[in-house]
Chain A
């Protein structure tokens, strides 16, 4: 099985994309399967490090948390833009991170940047510190606590 489909998750994702784009019919399911198996092999020469993904409740909890946070920060940022609170100040936050897996770090970068109000700037792999920019910086410790407890824990459960 591993020989035929070296990247099963990628193959499943490609198959899902094909079926969603073309509509569900026997012909397209067959074609989608062929394409998913063949195309996912393109990754072989790149030889990416195999991610260790653990399936569990964290996988459902993460998207729900992220979605809720995105909606919440959208409202918060919209309020800042419209009402311009005078006491607001933005700033950089350095926060220590324990994640090692490049996949987990990439996920965290996407989550932080996709959430309005926070932006991922830099990851120092040597000192394990990431630099983010926060639009509404009230308490630095609060942000560090939020990211470590809310996202890092879940990502650790999934990837490490």
Chain B
């Protein structure tokens, strides 16, 4: 079992700062989801989480486990790659569905097909 108390102070600081930063960025993104007005505007803020938010947490994870195991642990890079590749698919799907509906209903200020 890996014990966090084995972490030296400098690593603890890096890990702590990046975890908090990542959480904060993701939180700001979710606040944006509530605060902004229209559907198309609301699609934007949640991307903060999967980009910079995830990145900060991954940097913290890489630092933590690389120091604890005294060897580079970099498989977190895979998380970054897969998250970056998959989130746009969901976002585009949602936005396109909204666009289709608005066009069909003729509501909202959306460009014609």
- Residues of chain A touching chain B, judged by Cβ–Cβ distance below 8 Å, are 17, 20-21, 70-71, 74, 77-78, 80-82, 84, 90, 92, 94, 109-110, 113-122, 131, 133, 135
Contacts and interface: CB of A to CB of B under 8 A. Distances in A.
Nearest to A131: B111
Given A82-B28, A82-B31, A118-B44, 6 more contacts: A74-B51, A81-B32, A92-B111, A116-B47, A119-B43, A119-B44
A113 B96 CA distance: 12
Contacts of B67: none
Contacts of A116: 29, 44-45, 47-48, 51
Contacts of B87: 113-114
B20 interface: no
B44 A117 contact: yes
B77 A20 contact: yes
B101 interface: no
Contacts of B50: 114
Interface residues of B, number: 33
Interface in B39-81: 40-41, 43-45, 47-48, 50-52, 74-75, 77-78
A108 B28 CA distance: 26
Contacts, number: 87
Contacts of B48: 74, 77-78, 116
A133 B32 contact: no
B97 to A, nearest CB: 11
Interface in B85-105: 85, 87-88, 91-92, 95-96, 99
B58 to A, nearest CB: 13
Contact of A122 (B45, B91, B96): B96
B31 A20 contact: no
Contacts of A135: 41, 44
A148 to B, nearest CB: 19
Nearest to B44: A135
Contact of A81 (B31, B77, B78, B95): B31
B45 to A, nearest CB: 6
B23 to A, nearest CB: 13
B111 A94 contact: yes
Contacts of B92: 109, 113, 119-121
Contacts of B47: 77, 113-116
A120 B75 contact: no
